[in-house]
Amino acid sequence: MTYLWVAIGSALGGMARYWMTLAMAAVTGLGFPWGTILINIVGSFVIGFFAVLTGYEGRVVVPLDARVFVMTGLCGGFTTFSAFSLQSFELARDGRWLQAAANVGLSVLLCLGAVALGCAAAAAINAGVKTPG
């Protein structure tokens, strides 16, 4: 049953990624992969937030399948490391080295920041929770 939750989450995450990619392209154009960066930031925040909020000392208790659905399925289907890698390569291959470096730097720094922010937000929610025992 767990594999079914991963599959459903992956499908929903992939559809959300496709929608957000189109929405961002409509706003920013196709010259720079802003959609991929935003997707990875949002996905990084969500996985960090959910991991801490529903973790061992988290405030929200959910079944393992719910964690797998969100963290492996939704976030895995939504985030776009392979697309990020291809887009970075294509920018560099086309001689757009500054944009390639910006894509790599922004993606890594902003996504690490988003994970940290998600973890901190969930930790703030968890504050004051008494652990059993």
Domain coordinates of the chain in residue numbers?
2-126
Q: What is the pTM of this model?
A: 0.82
Local confidence band at 56 (pLDDT 50, 70, 90 cut-offs): confident
- pLDDT 10s digits, 73-90: 999 999 988 889 989 999
What is the tens place of the pLDDT at every residue in 24-53?
Answer: 999 999 999 999 999 999 999 999 999 999
Contact at 8 Å (CB) between 74 and 13?
yes
Instruction: List C-alpha distances in Å: 74 to 44, 50, 86, 105, 116.
Output: 11, 11, 21, 24, 19
Percent of the chain surpassing pLDDT 70: 95
Q: What is the mean pLDDT of residues 2-14?
A: 97
